[in-house]
Amino acid sequence: MFEIVNLLHASLLVADLSAARRFYEGVLELKPSPARPEMSFDGIWYDIGAAQIHLICLPNPDSASGRPAHGGRDRHTALGVRNFAALRVQLDAAGLPYTLSQSGRSALFVRDPDGNALELVEID
């Protein structure tokens, strides 16, 4: 019997790596990982605890149009956040729209420049 024990990484397709980096580094304040090897396509990795987000600059077969306004009704990657109030201030200052979790939890959904949905959940 096998057991899946943790999430290693989530990969997100991006069309404009510079725009994506402004969001992930400038707004979410993530730091690039030096662990990404040279690959045949552009991209960047971010360490988040023991896991990573991989931004992959390749053509996206899915259109960002037609996705639901609330990211909780779309495929998404969830990240734990400390100081949730400060995150909301940062998103508001950047002029980024987001929706609050409809479950009543301290969580919100925001999209990156390519329409990838992120769930940001308050943790202790």
| In-domain check, residue 73 | yes
Domain count, the chain: 1
Q: What is the pLDDT of residue 32?
A: 97
- CA–CA separation, 92 and 2 (whole Å): 44
SS3 21: helix
Range of the domain at 79: 9-122
| In-domain check, residue 33 | yes
Confidence of residue 124 (pLDDT cuts 50, 70, 90): confident
DSSP 56-77: EES--SS-STT--SSGGGS-EE
Q: What is the pLDDT of residue 114?
A: 94
Q: What is the pLDDT of residue 1?
A: 84
| In-domain check, residue 91 | yes
> And the tokens for 106?
């301290």
Residue 30 has pLDDT above 80, yes or no: yes
* CATH number, position 30: 3.10.180.10
| In-domain check, residue 103 | yes
| In-domain check, residue 2 | no
| In-domain check, residue 116 | yes
* Average pLDDT, rounded, for the chain: 93
| In-domain check, residue 1 | no
Burial of 92 (0-12, 13-18, 19+ CB in 10 A): exposed
User: Worst-scoring range by mean pLDDT, 4-18, 23-37, 58-72, 75-89?
Assistant: 58-72
| In-domain check, residue 3 | no
Does pTM surpass 0.75?
yes
Q: What is the pLDDT of residue 65?
A: 80
